[in-house]
Amino acid sequence: MQRLYRKRIVLGVGGGIAAYKSAELVRRLLDQGAEVRVVMTRGGSEFITPLTMQALSGHPVHLDLLDPEAEAAMGHIELAKWADLVLIAPATADLIARLAQGLANDLLTTLVLATDATVAIAPAMNQAMWRDPATQANTQLLQSRGLKVVGPASGSQACGDVGFGRMLEAEDLVHCAAECFQRQALTGKHVLITAGPTQENIDPVRYITNHSSGKMGFALAEAAAEAGARVTLITGPVHLPTPDRVTRIDVVSARDMLAACEAAIPCDVFIASAAVADYRPEVVAPQKLKKDPTKGDGLLLQMVRNPDILATIATRPDRPFSVGFAAETEHLLDYAARKLKDKNLDLIVANDVANPSIGFNSEENACSVIDRDLHATVFAQTSKGKIARQLVTFIAERLNQV
C-alpha cells in the first residue's frame, strides 16, 4: 500500500472509548511508511494518554490551542500546512457537531478550519447517538462540504448496545486513508514526466550538472499514478525510490533523456520538470584531464548547446499536452511567460529557486502556473507531495478543456 508512503497524516483523537484503537492505528500507518503527528482533544487524553501516543508516533502530542511554546511559531497553522490528510478517529458526536458548526474552540477544530488537506472522520458513539437526527444532519453537512466520513461499523458497544456506531478497526482505517489519495482524474491517460538533473561528461571522471534533487518530478509521478494515469518517469541521476505503479527509465545526459522521451511517445501529457543542462562540452576527453603548467591556471572548455527536450516534444505534429518548468532566480513570471510562448507550451510552472526554503533539494515548494492566456495561478508553499497533487489536479482540469 505505497499510496501512504511518506504521506503526512495528522491523526485527531476525540474523547471516546474507541480512542484505544487510535494507538493501533498510529502503528499501522507508520508500517505503511506514513509520517504521523497526533492531535488530541482534552477528552481524548482521558481515554488514552498522550505519552502512549507520543511513544508510538515518535513525536510530541499536540493538545492545546494556546500552548505558548507551540504558538510562538503558529503551531496550529504549521500543522495545518504540514498535513496531507487529517484523519479524526474517533470522531465523537460532540466533535462532529462542533466541526459542522465551524467552531474553533480547541486545537483540533481550529486545525480543520485552517488546513487545505483532505479531512476524514471516523465516527464512534452509542448507536442511539449515531441514529439521532442531529448527528445525521451534522454528518451530511460535513460530507456536503467535502469531508470524508468512514464508517461507522455495526456491532456490540461498550455500553452493551448493539448497532451502528463502532469505529472502524485500524486496518480498515488505513485502507480508507490510502483511498483518500486515490484520485482518478487521469484514468486512461499516459503521462510522461522528466525529473532530476542531467550530467554532461568532461572526461571519464568529471562532469557538469546542477543541484536538482528530482524530488518534485518524483512527487508528480506519484501524484499522476494516484490519479489513475499510466506514468513513465525518465530521470537523471538521483537517489530516490521509484513511486508505486510508475515505470522508471534512468538516463544520464540531455541527449539520453531526449531519446528516452521520444521512445516513450505517444503520450497524453508531458511534464518536463527535469533540470536539463543547456550546454555540454563539445569534446569529451578520452582520459582524465591533467593540470598543464604550460597553459597557466585556467582551463578552457568549448561548450555547445544541448537539444531542447521540451521544445522538441511540444512542437511535434503529435504533441502531447505540454507542461514546462521555469526555475529562475529573478524576473520569475516574465521569464516563465517568455519560455511558455517560445516553446509552444500549454502551461508552465514557475519556481523561485533563489528562495532557499523552496529551492533545489528542499522538501517544500511554492509556484505559479501560467497558461496560454498568461493568467497566473498561485500555489502557496507546502510540501512537494501536496503541491504535486494540486498541480496534477490542475493539469487534469485543463487537459479536459482541450
Q: What backbone phi and psi angles, to 5 degrees, belong to 378?
A: -95, 135
Where does 2-179 sit in CATH, by number? 3.40.50.1950
Q: Is 367 assigned a catalytic role?
A: no
Catalytic residue among 159, 176, 267, 367: 159
Residues 6+ apart with CB under 8 A from 339: 324, 326, 345, 348
Helix (H, G, I), strand (E, B) or coil at 56: helix
278 assigned to a ligand binding site: yes
Angle 389-391-396 from CA coordinates, rounded to 5°:
95
Nearest alpha-carbon partner for 231 in 171, 271, 289, 200: 271
215 assigned to a ligand binding site: no
Tell me how far apart the alpha carbons of residues 178 and 157 are, in angstroms, rounded to a whole number: 27
Helix (H, G, I), strand (E, B) or coil at 23: helix
Residue 164 burial (10 A CB sphere; 0-12, 13-18, 19+): middle
Q: Where are the domains of the chain?
A: 2-179, 190-284+300-401
In order, the DSSP letters of 193-239 are EEESB--EEEETTEEE-----SHHHHHHHHHHHHTT-EEEEEE-S--
Nearest alpha-carbon partner for 240 in 3, 6, 37: 6
CATH 3.30.70.3170 matches 190-284+300-401? no
Amino acid at 118: T
pTM of the model: 0.72
pLDDT per residue rounded down to tens, the chain (402 residues): 467 877 899 999 999 999 999 999 999 999 998 999 999 999 999 999 999 999 999 999 998 876 655 544 445 678 888 888 999 999 999 999 999 999 998 999 999 999 988 999 999 999 899 999 999 999 999 999 999 999 898 877 676 777 788 999 999 999 999 988 866 789 889 999 999 999 999 999 999 999 899 999 999 999 999 888 999 999 999 999 998 889 999 999 999 999 999 999 999 999 999 999 999 999 998 999 888 777 777 778 899 999 999 999 999 999 999 999 998 888 889 999 999 999 999 999 998 877 777 767 677 888 999 999 999 999 988 888 889 999 999 999 999 887
Q: What is the pLDDT of residue 362?
A: 77
CB 213 within 8 A of CB 360: yes
Same fold: 2-179 with 190-284+300-401: yes
307 assigned to a ligand binding site: yes
Cis peptide before 90 (omega within 30 of 0): yes
265 assigned to a ligand binding site: no
Q: What is the pLDDT of residue 55?
A: 95
CA distance from start to end of the chain: 33
Nearest alpha-carbon partner for 230 in 266, 206, 198, 259: 266
